[in-house]
A and B are shown apart, each in its own frame.
Chain A
Amino acid sequence: MQRAVVVIVLVWFLLIGIFLEISPFQSPWPQQRYALEGAEFAALAGGQIDGDGLAITTPDENYGALLVRSVEIADAAQWPVLRYRFDSLAPSLEVAFLYRRADSPNDVRTVNLTRARMATGSIDLSRENDWRGAITEIGFAVYPVTQSVPPEQAFRPFVLRGAEFWSPSWTGRAAAVATEWSGRRAWSLMSISALGPDNGVVRSRSPVLLLALGLGFTLLLLTQFTPTTTLRTVQVIVVAVAAAWILLDLRWSLSFADRHAATRQVYAPLEWPQRQQQLADADVLAAAQSVRQALRDDGADPDTVRLLVDAKSDFLRARFIYHLAPARTGPLNLTGWRVATAETGPIYFATFEQPEPQFDAADSRLRIDSDFSVPARQIADAPPLRVYRIGPENTP
């Protein structure tokens, strides 16, 4: 039995090493560290020195903050691990790491960071193709969570305590993987379909798979080394599976709580009618309201006239249509330009963040393509929103 325990422990260590992707040629601890205090960074707006940190109390015009600092890193490959520490970072905010390379000083490169569960997070930049050569400037961009938080409601004051670069080490790699495995996450559109890929790039191997393989090997080894003590084997495995399941549930519960915290921060103080106005795509909602008003101003009932709808992407078009409901909308990618087949009644066309089709004001026609155009009259021109009334009665 003792031999079994030793082998099982060794197998677990080996598996953890493989899943952490630790290189045996690196030292256990970082040989060199390069620490930068938060107070050494400069904020483009709203920054105040707070001890050794930089406190950001007001957002910039993009509802976030940009913190930058010049550095002299001769060879990025020597400093693959970045550790970053923020205090009071709201769950509605995301962080990206920015850097400028000496060989292309006009390009700012970005890497999205995982918000750490504890104050300090780590990332292994050696996995980023662009992290090489001499680095002249670094920074952090803090901005509203993109898909699930209304930008105007996202900002809360926070403090950048500091950043630190480490030379390659097991500890650095393990810290980076620990940040990925335990990081704070936010809802995205992908969350309803798959958890893990729903927060951008997956930078680490699966802890679920690690536990599954570890438990599988444990069971295999127990049955090999102690074939006569089946009951004991079952007991050990049951306890191990229960512990693993509870660990994974604890991890998910914390992740759900983080996501819910962002929801509460934005929506809990509001009554339901306001909640339905405070959206991440409030601009699309406002455009939809403008369309309805433009139709009314043109003497049409927005709920009865045919309204063709187009936008830059499938997502935007579908959101536009939802906000326009109960209008008699026709998504252009579904209905096409079959205006000639339409029964009587006016036809309108609303387009958002979509420059095509071009409107020829001189002869009042929408140029659908080189061979096809329709007579039209523009009734609203408030880029990125354009609204037209289509039909022969609009020909001059």
Chain B
Amino acid sequence: MSMRLLLGWLCSLLLGGSIWFAVAGLPRRWSDALAVSGYAVLLGVLGSGLLVGLRRDVPGEGIFLATLPLLGVAIVVLLGVGYWRSRRASPALAVTVPPAESLPRWCWVLLALITLRFAFVLDEAILRPVFAWDAWNAWSLKAKTWFSLGQVPYLEPSAWWQDGGSAGRTALAWRYPELLSRAELWFAGAAGAWNEGAVATAWPVLWLALIAGCAGQWMALGVPRLHSLILAYMLASLPLLSVHAGLAGYADLWVAAALSFAVLSWLRWVRDGDRAQLLLAVLCTVLLPLLKFEGAVWALLLVGLALLVQVPVRWRWVGLGVGALLVVVAVIGSWLLQLPWLTLVGDTLSGAATSGDDVSRVTAAFAFVNGLFGQNNWHLLWPLLIACVIWRRDVLFRQRDAALLGLLVAGGLTALLCLFVFTPAAKWAASETAANRLVLHWVPLALSLLALLLRDVQWPARTQPSSPR
């Protein structure tokens, strides 16, 4: 890894860390320290991608130096805001770090296993040139082109034919969101060349950040440290998640991280009323549609639920009606403005985006369920979650954060089940190409639900209280 690439990483992490600092101040608890190490990667890398998008005319390695001043200004401003906010905060809020709860020695084995897995996925990502189909078909194609020519526009095919200049490009993924491609461009610029191994480092680091961020937020939500560590190991051990870290290039890991961090921050706000966490939730939610179309759907689901629970009970039906009306207005507005997302939805639901023979609903449903329970993607996650929901069902009625998370996960999986069983997208379920990748978006939250369900369980050998740390 070159010094330039290291500098690029350092700048991104500084940017991400300063966003947390500006919003939530210095982390003063173990849980927040762990969470910020996760959020800093997601917010920092994607923030760098957004800043790269402001220098569209600069090609090649020059994009790195052209973006550095913007990054520097952003970091200074954010640090200034954070410092100003911390000065305004009451001294009484400047709590000291409580002593860490000791963990049994065998827990170090779990940490060692996570570290070992990280070393493997990092080495795989660096060594293997971009491999997975959509990685080079959708995101790397744009980044590679932009690295050579500057950020030329990607046009729909008829506009490409009529483009009188020489800049416009087209591709099958011309309407895909471009933030991830810009993040790739940032790392290519930092590496000083279209170095696929250097670009790929972002995926294993994000994988580790996802685990750290979730573990930190679980602890902040009152999950005991030991539980959080075990669940962090379980998250790290999930096969398809490590595949997405090792075979770098897909957007699904980023969507999973942004969705998980948005929801966990929102739950902290629901539980503790911490406005900084609400702001972090908003930031992560805003990133979702910039990553992938499905991210926009998940963002709508989250925002819809978040707004609904804020509405007084007697107004909820009215709220639902207003929400439905807004959806209709959004669809009509998108149709009038010819927004690409509507075409994508239309193509998917009509079957224009899929190819191959029709498949029966039973076949599609079986393939979807087989992906959850039968294949090697998720170990025993889904049977375990179902068993724990049945065993700890009273928690869903007693604890608001667990109930809301349960509702969200159920909503997300139901949406996927409907998509892959009742629409032409069933072909993707039957061919086992897309269903598990979209399920991946919800996997960290499924483990988070497990964490909240088991939060108050007192194991006979350990009876420490489960207060937030």
Contacts and interface: CB of A to CB of B under 8 A. Distances in A.
Contacts of B275: none
Interface in B237-269: 237, 239-240, 242-244, 246-247, 250
Interface stretch (A109-117, A125-133, A324-332): A324-332
B300 interface: no
A260 B124 contact: yes
A335 B170 contact: yes
Contacts of B240: 194-195
Contacts of A303: 148-149, 166
Interface stretch (A22-30, A51-59, A243-251, A366-374): A243-251
A322 interface: yes
A257 interface: yes
Contacts of A329: 169-171
B433 to A, nearest CB: 5
A275 B193 CA distance: 14
B380 A245 contact: yes
A193 B196 contact: no
Nearest to A212: B383
B379 A321 contact: no
Contacts of B435: 194
A244 B384 CA distance: 11
A321 B146 CA distance: 14
Contacts of B123: 260, 263-264
B237 to A, nearest CB: 4
B371 A194 contact: yes
B132 interface: yes
A1 interface: no
A62 interface: no
A197 B166 CA distance: 43
A341 interface: yes
Contacts of B168: 328
Q: Which of A235, A273, A276, A328 has the most CB of B within 10 A?
A: A328
Contacts of B137: 318, 322
Interface string A223-244: 0000000010001000001001
Contact of A187 (B120, B131, B197, B198): B131
A325 B374 contact: no
Given A245-B380, A344-B164, A235 B373 contact: no
Contacts of A318: 133, 136-137, 172
B162 interface: yes
A279 B131 CA distance: 9
A211 interface: yes
B56 interface: no
Contacts of A331: 170-172
Contacts of A315: 133
A156 interface: no
A315 B131 CA distance: 12
A245 B379 contact: yes
A256 B246 CA distance: 10
A299 interface: no
Nearest to A260: B124
A288 to B, nearest CB: 12
A204 B162 CA distance: 54
B128 A235 contact: no
A330 B157 contact: yes
Given A193-B434, A244-B380, A331-B171, A253 B117 contact: yes
B237 A249 contact: yes
Interface string A272-292: 110110110000000000000
Given A330-B160, A334-B157, A338-B161, A192 B437 contact: yes
A268 interface: yes
A252 interface: yes
Contact of A335 (B133, B157, B373, B374): B157
Contacts of A384: none
A248 B377 contact: no
Nearest to A192: B132
A343 interface: yes
A301 B164 CA distance: 16
Contacts of B247: 187, 191-192
A196 interface: yes
A362 interface: no
Given A257-B120, A267-B127, A206 B374 contact: yes
Given A192-B133, A212-B380, A244-B380, A322 B141 contact: yes
A248 B373 CA distance: 13
A263 B140 contact: no
Contacts of B239: 195, 252, 255-256
Contacts of B243: 191-192, 195
B387 A219 contact: yes
B237 A245 contact: yes
Nearest to A251: B376
A338 B156 CA distance: 13
A193 to B, nearest CB: 5
B22 to A, nearest CB: 36
A260 B120 contact: yes
B197 A272 contact: yes
Contacts of B136: 318-319, 322
B204 to A, nearest CB: 12
A148 B131 contact: yes
A190 interface: yes
Nearest to A344: B164
Contacts of A108: none
A193 B437 contact: yes
A396 interface: no
A304 B149 CA distance: 10
Nearest to B457: A234
B94 to A, nearest CB: 40
B145 interface: yes
B74 interface: no
Contacts of A197: 375, 432
A338 B436 contact: no
A201 interface: no
Contacts of B433: 190, 193-194
Contacts of B374: 196, 206, 208-209
Interface string A292-309: 000000000101111000
Contacts of B437: 192-193
A382 interface: no
Given A187-B247, A195-B375, A272-B198, A245 B432 contact: no
B251 to A, nearest CB: 11
A6 interface: no
A361 interface: no
B182 to A, nearest CB: 15
Given A212-B383, A245-B237, A318-B133, A328 B169 contact: yes
B127 A275 contact: yes
Nearest 3 interchain pairs by C-beta: A304-B166, A326-B145, A196-B375
26 contacts: A191-B247, A192-B243, A192-B244, A195-B243, A195-B375, A196-B376, A206-B374, A211-B380, A212-B373, A212-B383, A216-B383, A219-B387, A248-B376, A251-B376, A253-B117, A255-B376, A303-B166, A305-B166, A326-B144, A326-B148, A328-B169, A329-B169, A329-B170, A341-B161, A341-B162, A342-B162
